[in-house]
Structure 1
Amino acid sequence: MNDTASGITRSPDSARPTVDARIYPKGGLDVLSRDEVARLKDASSGGMHDLLRRCALAVLTSGSASDDPRAAQELYPDFDIQVLQQDRGVRIDLVHAPAMAFVDGVIIRGVAELLFAVVRDLAYTAIELGPEYADELESSSGITNAVFGLLRNARILKPAEPNLVVCWGGHSIGRNEYEYTKDVGYELGLRGLDICTGCGPGAMKGPMKGATIAHAKQRKRRKRYIGITEPGIIAAESPNPIVNHLVIMPDIEKRLEAFVRIGHGIVVFPGGVGTAEEILYLLGILLREENARLPFPLVFTGPTAAAPYFEQIDRFLRLTLGEAATSRYDIIIDDPAKVARRMTAGIRQVREYRIAHKDSFYFNWALKIPLEFQQPFAPTHEAMAALALHRGRASHALAADLRRAFSGIVAGNVKEDGMRHIEAHGPFQIRGDNDMMQAMDALLRAFVEQRRMKISGEYRPCYQVTS
């Protein structure tokens, strides 16, 4: 990577120092087609430039403590990025870029790698998943192939022994819980396991931070800290600085599928509505008959103070999805080493199953994900009100709609489009059976009281739950 940068200036409308820079990526992003560059530069209503600008600004402010998707744009209103195709490769021009991404006028290497990942993934999405391929994305197999293609293009899929643990949990957690996620990551790292998270702060950063120390102690050379995000989330949850493989999926559904396709086991820490969405997504899939015998270690864990949190999650899952759901997860409180041993043993079973069924180690083809879990859900007020949250439905079908309900709340909380919908039309209305809605309302109120909805400031609910 070669780059040049001008001196630090101050954007006319901002007190924050900025830098103008010209960067020449090396490795993994050497060339783009003219069509890809044209789409990235296109600032029209159907173009990618505004999306590129927002995602690039998120990685250039990597490590930010804010979860407001508008905060970075307000601090750096004059920031811009241009991608240019040259005879000898690609050039990226940054205008009024955040100075925090540079040291002595040179962009920080890890930040540069994340920036290249943004350009790579948005370019791939613009071409390979463009409107002309819409028909291919109408089938379950077509969507899975698209997820595979995105991950392969990002060079995430590597033939190797199963060792990737996905860690889910909230971006807004207390210090005690954050330290616990580091302890678990440390124990996982001591056992040679790599970490994949949603790439942001809190429970997405802690396991990676703990694992870095353990990997250093074990002299592990090939260390993977994979962050998987999507355009609506990245602006609110910018990548933490430990992420060394960033992937931007086109939407939340493909992001969730990427987690469960490449992960060999999942650890869930305390979190908010996004974590609840992830739990419901995975359990809804694992409860299907065709996945009943598929090994997939799933552990809920936290410090002693988090025990009531998981008790409430467990009660909600039993009430909505039934007792069968409880057989697919373990709850381990305040014992990081036990969590790591459980993951290690579970991943060993995954390895044996993949060998017996001739499935790849790096992509879980055997997991059957139905179309209802893959199709993007647009959380409009009409769509949220129409969710069928009633008893008598198959557990996996109910889980799919419960997942959509929590996904809509995530959008209203941290995604710019969702926030605009709430400001224009008021809170989402979520309706269903009385006991189910009471349980959901109690769970959401607990998230608010425990400050799991927002890092700072007063939280104003974007939803109303009624029976």
Structure 2
Amino acid sequence: MSESTITALVSPEGSLEILSNHEVNRLKDKSEGGLYRLFRQCALAVLNTGVETDDCKALMEMHADFDVRLVPQPRGVKLELINAPAHAFVDGEMLRAIREHLFSVLRDIIYTHSIPETVPGFRRDNPDDITNLVFHILRNAGVLQAGRQPDMVVCWGGHSIGHSEYQYSKEIGHQLGLRGLSIITGCGPGAMKGPMKGATIGHAKQRVRNGRYVGITEPAIIGAEAPNPIVNELVIMPDIEKRLEAFIRCGHGVIVFPGGVGTAEEILYLLGILLHPDNADLPFPVIFTGRPENAEYFEMIDKFIRNALGDKAAEKYEIIIDDPVRVAQTMKKGMKEVETFRRAMQDAYYFNWMLKIDPVFQLPFDPNHATMRALELHRDQPVHLVAANLRKAFSGIVAGNVKENGIRQIQEKGPFEIAGDPTLIKPLEAMLEQFVAQNRMKLPGLQAYRPCYRIVSGAA
């Protein structure tokens, strides 16, 4: 039986009400250079908030008859949604959170594609231009708020987790909320939703009325991880690299819960940056945490990091098992250290300008069969490049697991091949096997997980 749908005219909710003729035409443009397909894909993902799926390609195919049209009005713009999922509505009215998210998508897609056209000399491969683009997107979305002391905790972890792990992430969020801290996640389900849900209760108990639940995503992943309804500030970054930079530029500390390849990608990105000599004295609290049964998981992660990046990388994080209060207290203490450092260096609280990010972590990586096979996974390079190339390997597996283009490539040409130094590849293969065994690759479905990668012998 097909899912019920609704056709409706929707007014803006707080993000963007006025568009130029040029912007309207680009959003209607269905050609390769137009924005119609991108906007339709992100809009459909938002309308499926709460749906348990992480297959972006299947989601698009399931709603092939969905359409979104811009309707100019004398006082602004409205959206006509044709064959929209009915669960986004209550008694014919769209849920307010979904309406907010829908117009956040419109705002960010328009803004992201207008900046390169309006800024003279803008280069997509220039590190300073990339960071400025991240800054302007976040500022335009209202995420960067002057006058607030450091309080933004980035929470990373798997979308495919069990009930007990979800409950633990919720308790961590509760303890953070009791201490007045706000949450940034990838905006989806699982370990991204749990901390936000817990923080809402902690904030309510402390009568925190300006609690922030920021969700940062990107077009290729939003269909697999639709925003959870607790998110009250949604931002769509252009790609995964700018999404990751946004996390650590506007966040003040990171908590990592158990996860799969996406979480491993985030860890390697963060550690690769923190290992840069220019960041040696920069305070940035990082905590890995989980339930008692997750102790072996973090032992595996720790062992992998020490083997790949060395013991110095392990000095950048603390592992705390089954102690939400200690996690929150440690993070609160870390926030004070960040505040003291930023004040002394006269750096902004709301955006970490001092953080040095090597261009290798900023330039977009396009995972395909050729680029995955060509990854330089060997030790004859600086440690931050080891981290960067391992990050790309995990990013490619994420694409093959849940992103529409990646899934399509795997269906057409078979699994991505990953090769390199056995001292790096063998531990990588062992960790991936554990992710599969623990159901951390994808949400459980009707069929067993089929790897989108193949480890091959010999260097690339």
Which category of TM-score, normalised to the shorter sequence, fits these structures?
Answer: over 0.9
Task: Give the match for residue 463 of structure 1.
Answer: 453
One of 31, 39, 44 as aligned partner of 2:18: 31
Pairwise CA distance, 1:70: 2.6
- Work out the CA distance in 1 between the residues paired with 2:392 and 2:364: 10
One of 394, 414, 432 as aligned partner of 1:406: 394
Equivalent position amino acid for 1:377 in 2: F
What secondary structure is seen at the aligned counterpart in 1 of 2:106?
A: helix
Measured against aligned partners, the alpha-carbon deviations of 1:55-80 in whole angstroms (never above 9, x if no partner) come to 10111110111111133333322111
CA-atom RMSD in angstroms: 1.3
* TM-score normalised according to structure 2 size: 0.97
Pairwise CA distance, 1:27: 2.8
Equivalent position amino acid for 2:177 in 1: G
What secondary structure is seen at the aligned counterpart in 2 of 1:176?
A: helix
Task: Give the match for residue 4 of structure 1.
Answer: none
Task: Give the match for residue 55 of structure 1.
Answer: 42
Judge conservation of contact 2:193–2:228 (CA < 8 Å) in 1: yes
What secondary structure is seen at the aligned counterpart in 2 of 1:137?
A: coil
Measured against aligned partners, the alpha-carbon deviations of 1:26-68 in whole angstroms (never above 9, x if no partner) come to 4331212221111111111221111111110111110111111
Task: Give the match for residue 420 of structure 2.
Answer: 432
Equivalence map 1:233-248=2 (5 Å): 233-248=221-236
Task: Give the match for residue 357 of structure 2.
Answer: 369
Task: Give the match for residue 78 of structure 1.
Answer: 65
Judge conservation of contact 2:116–2:122 (CA < 8 Å) in 1: no
Are residues 1:118 and 2:105 paired? yes
Task: Give the match for residue 97 of structure 1.
Answer: 84
Pairwise CA distance, 1:156: 0.7
Judge conservation of contact 2:14–2:100 (CA < 8 Å) in 1: no
What secondary structure is seen at the aligned counterpart in 2 of 1:417?
A: helix
What secondary structure is seen at the aligned counterpart in 2 of 1:122?
A: helix
What secondary structure is seen at the aligned counterpart in 2 of 1:328?
A: coil
- Work out the CA distance in 1 between the residues paired with 2:13 and 2:42: 20
- Work out the CA distance in 2 between the residues paired with 1:114 and 1:96: 18
Measured against aligned partners, the alpha-carbon deviations of 1:244-268 in whole angstroms (never above 9, x if no partner) come to 1110000000000000000000000
One of 282, 285, 303 as aligned partner of 1:297: 285
Q: Mean Cα displacement is larger for which, 43-52 or 305-314?
A: 43-52
- Work out the CA distance in 1 between the residues paired with 2:73 and 2:29: 17
* TM-score normalised according to structure 1 size: 0.95
- Work out the CA distance in 1 between the residues paired with 2:386 and 2:334: 27
- Work out the CA distance in 2 between the residues paired with 1:32 and 1:228: 23
Are residues 1:338 and 2:326 paired? yes
- Work out the CA distance in 2 between the residues paired with 1:289 and 1:59: 40
Alpha-carbon spacing, 1:134–1:276, altered in 2? closer, same or farther (3 Å): farther
Equivalent position amino acid for 2:99 in 1: A
Judge conservation of contact 2:169–2:191 (CA < 8 Å) in 1: yes
Judge conservation of contact 2:57–2:407 (CA < 8 Å) in 1: no
Are residues 1:306 and 2:294 paired? yes
Judge conservation of contact 1:41–1:83 (CA < 8 Å) in 2: yes
Kindly report structure 1 stretches of 4+ aligned residues shifted beyond 4 Å: 130-135
Equivalent position amino acid for 1:389 in 2: L
Equivalence map 1:191-210=2 (5 Å): 191-210=179-198
- Work out the CA distance in 2 between the residues paired with 1:369 and 1:361: 18
- Work out the CA distance in 2 between the residues paired with 1:139 and 1:438: 35
- Work out the CA distance in 1 between the residues paired with 2:199 and 2:116: 34
Judge conservation of contact 1:170–1:270 (CA < 8 Å) in 2: yes
- Work out the CA distance in 2 between the residues paired with 1:129 and 1:197: 27
Are residues 1:217 and 2:201 paired? no
Task: Give the match for residue 27 of structure 2.
Answer: 40
Alpha-carbon spacing, 1:390–1:83, altered in 2? closer, same or farther (3 Å): same
For structure 2, the residue ranges without an aligned partner over 5 or more in a row are none
Alpha-carbon spacing, 1:446–1:134, altered in 2? closer, same or farther (3 Å): farther
- Work out the CA distance in 1 between the residues paired with 2:393 and 2:151: 32
Pairwise CA distance, 1:397: 1.0
One of 114, 118, 132 as aligned partner of 1:145: 132
Judge conservation of contact 1:31–1:85 (CA < 8 Å) in 2: no
How many residue pairs match? The answer is: 454
Are residues 1:287 and 2:280 paired? no
Q: Mean Cα displacement is larger for which, 165-174 or 419-428?
A: 419-428
Judge conservation of contact 1:16–1:75 (CA < 8 Å) in 2: no
Are residues 1:19 and 2:19 paired? no
Judge conservation of contact 1:36–1:126 (CA < 8 Å) in 2: no
- Work out the CA distance in 1 between the residues paired with 2:21 and 2:449: 45
Equivalent position amino acid for 2:105 in 1: V
- Work out the CA distance in 2 between the residues paired with 1:253 and 1:201: 21
Measured against aligned partners, the alpha-carbon deviations of 1:405-448 in whole angstroms (never above 9, x if no partner) come to 10000000000101111111111111111121110000000000
Task: Give the match for residue 141 of structure 2.
Answer: 154
